[in-house]
Structure 1
Amino acid sequence: MADDGGCGQIRIPPVGRDMKILVSTAGRHGATHSLGQEMGRVFEHCGVDVDVRAPESVVRVDGYDALVIGSAVYSDRWVPAAKALVDRVSRSEHPPVWLFSCGPLHSSDRPVNVTSDAAHAVSLMHATAHRTFPGKLVPERLSAGERQIFENSGAVAGDFRDWVLVCNWAREILAWLNAEKRGS
C-alpha cells in the first residue's frame, strides 16, 4: 500500500479541496476496508477531501461529489450493511456512484462473475461502474462455520489483493470526476 497515493500508473492532476468523496465499505475480516482505505489515500494524495466510513454510520450523502461503496462477497452475496446502504441512498438524490466487490478469492486472470447483489446495486444506484477485486483470506481469522465453508469450497487461502489495480481504479474515478468538473 502506497503511502504517497502514487501506486498507480495513471497521472491525475490535483482535483482540489472543493471535491469531497465518501468511501464506505462493508466486510468481516478487514480486506474490503483496506481496499477502501487505499482508495481514500489516492484521493487525498490528489487533493480530494475524503471520508472513509462504515455503511452503518452513513446517514446522508448530500455534500459529497461522489460515492464509492464496496462490499466483501460471501457465498456470492454482498454483506447486509452494504446492501442496506445502497437501499437507503438509492431512495434520494445522490452524487455519482462507483461500486466494488472484494472477492471471491483467486489469483488468476479469469473474469469474476458479478454477484446478483452487485448487479442489483448497480441498477438501483445507476452506478457509473462496478469493479470486482480479488480479496484476502486468513483461515485463522474465520469462525468455525466460515472455516468449514472455506474447506469445502476448494478455495485457496492467501492475499490476492492487487494494490496497483485498486489504485489505478481510484485514479480512473478521479479522471472521470475531473472531466465532469471541466465540462460543467
Structure 2
Amino acid sequence: MKVLVAFASKHGSTREVAQAIADELRAQGVETDLHEASNVGEIAGYDGVILGSAVYMGRWLEQARELVARHAIELAERPVWLFSSGPIGGKPLPEEAVDVSEIMETTRARAHQVLAGKLDKHKLGFGERAVVLALRVPEGDFRDWELTRQWARGIATGLHALVGRHPDG
C-alpha cells in the first residue's frame, strides 16, 4: 500500500503538519510519499491520498485546488482524506468555516479535518501583516500535534482495513 500526502503551504506551517501526518503513517506501516501539491505529477501509483492546504479567508490555497482539478477522476477512484490548516487562536473553527464542500464532492473524500495553525508575523508580507493587525489575530503556534497524529493513525487503520491486513501481519 502506498499513500500520497500532498499539501499547499504558504509560510511552512502546513508543510510541518503534512510532515507529521506522513511520519505517523510511516510509523503505522504505511508507505508514504510527501509532496507539495504543485509538484504532484501522477497519482496513479498511489492507493490513497491525504490532501491538505493552508486556509486563508476560509479557502484553500490555489495549488491544492488546482491539484484537485487536475486529478479529479483519479482522486474520486481512491480513498481520499482532506485536512485544512490555519485557524488560529484559542478556539478551533468549526468545519463549516472552511469551504471545502466542492473539494469533498469532487474527490469523494472520506473525511475532512480542520487543524489549528500557526502565525509568525515575521514571515508575513506587508499586506498580510496589515490584515492580521486590523483583525487582531493572535500570534503563536496553536497546532495540536497529538490530534494530528491521532487523525493520521485513524487513516492508517482505515487503509489497513481496506487491504485486509494489519501492519503487524
TM-score (norm 1): 0.84
3-state DSSP class of the match of 2:146? helix
Superposed displacement of residue 76, structure 1: 1.3
State the match for 1:182 in structure 2.
164
Corresponding letter in the other structure for 1:97: V
State the match for 2:85 in structure 1.
102
Distance 1:151 1:112 in 2: 25
Superposed displacement of residue 115, structure 1: 2.0
Structure 2 contact 87–93 (Cα < 8 Å) conserved? no
TM-score (norm 2): 0.91
Structure 1 contact 107–134 (Cα < 8 Å) conserved? no
Structure 2 contact 93–114 (Cα < 8 Å) conserved? no
Size of the aligned set, in residue pairs, is 164
Corresponding letter in the other structure for 2:94: P
Q: Which runs of 4+ in 1 moved over 6 A?
A: none
Corresponding letter in the other structure for 1:96: P
1:1-184 alignment to 2 at 5 Å?
A: 19-92=1-74, 94-108=77-91, 111-116=94-99, 118-182=100-164
Distance 1:94 1:152 in 2: 43
Gaps of 5+ in 2: none
Superposed displacement of residue 110, structure 1: 5.8
Distance 1:110 1:76 in 2: 10
Distance 2:134 2:69 in 1: 32
Distance 1:82 1:110 in 2: 20
Q: Which has the higher helix share?
A: 2
Gaps of 5+ in 1: 1-18
